[in-house]
Amino acid sequence: MGDSAQLRMRRGWRCRGRLLVRDVSIIVLLYGAGMAAVWGFSLMAVSPLAVFPVFVLGILIASLESDSGVWGAALGLGYLVSYDYLFTEPLYHLKVFNHTDVVALVIFLVVALIMGVVTHRMRHQVSAAERTAVALRRVNRLGAELVDSVTAEEACQAAQEFLAASLGRPVEIILGAPDPERGEAALDCYEQHCPTGCGELGYRGGTEKFLPFGMRGRSLGVVAIDCSRADLDQADLSLISFVLAQTQLAVERNRGVAGPEEAGA
């Protein structure tokens, strides 16, 4: 378990490192493009102030691509300082911001902030839509596996694999009464038909949550879910309830089919 956590941590750091390199590369590219635009305008004897819309466009792109208004604000500040230092008299002297510079800086910061918020919300919605699409595909696959299952164990195996992949944490469906080694919380869940373990009143120090698995007031077993990193939220519980309801039907069906066959044999 420790090795798995360290592996996930290393992957997370590598992913954040790649994103940082990507964001920095985008900012450098946009900064270079903005400065090249100012230089080009100066060669054509066009007022460098005409490049300010280009600066705003660069800030928009930076905020969109980096999913953060911070990078856009940093780029805007870099634009303004470089413009003040390289293209205003006296050259190569950093002047104290005048009224025009302050107004431009405020505009840049507001644009960066707005686009950062909008982009973050858009990406959040897109990510939620992608997760929903993936979940629906998994639900369809789970339904097919439950229909094709022959034994109660096969149905439970399909359900626990689906839940483990969807929740991103270990899940185990235990048919029948759990072994005493699983602890008091598991036995209480099976006998009392109520959630026990991590996050429940009266159970401290545990890292597993146990949910009842059964129907019509009859316990078929318990579901053990690892909550060492975080407890289940309402969306997780809704998904688990839906999956368990379908799995219980499959278990009852498979046991009902197996019963007459065993009797006939």
Asked if the model's pLDDT at residue 9 lies above 80, the reply is no
* pTM, rounded to two decimals: 0.53
**Could you tell me the pLDDT band of residue 62, with boundaries at 50, 70 and 90?**
confident
What distance in Å separates the CA atoms of residue 76 and residue 103, rounded to the nearest whole number? 12
Task: Sort residue 199 into left (φ over 0), alpha (ψ -120 to 50) or beta.
Answer: left
Band (156; pLDDT cuts 50, 70, 90): very high
Q: What percent of the chain has pLDDT over 90?
A: 21
Residue 172 has pLDDT above 90, yes or no: yes
Assess whether 109 and 44 both reside in one domain: yes
Q: Are residues 165 and 123 in the same domain?
A: no
The answer to whether residue 109 sits within a structural domain is yes
The CATH number linked to 209 is 3.30.450.40
pLDDT band at 261 (very low <50, low <70, confident <90, very high): very low
- Per the DSSP assignment, residues forming a β-bridge with 203 are none
Identify whether 63 is part of a domain: yes
Mean pLDDT of the chain: 81
**Identity of the residue numbered 209:** K
Poorest-confidence range of 80-94, 171-185, 212-226? Answer: 80-94
CB burial class (10 A; 0-12, 13-18, 19+) of residue 247?
buried
Asked if 158 and 260 sit in the same domain, the reply is yes
Domain that holds residue 176: 151-264
Which has more confidence, 122 or 242? 242
120 and 183 part of one domain:
no
CA atoms within 13 A of residue 169's CA, in its CB half-sphere: 16
| Residue 143 domain-assigned (yes or no) | no
One domain for residues 155 and 230:
yes
Number of domains in the chain: 2
Cα(122)–Cα(127) distance, integer angstroms: 9
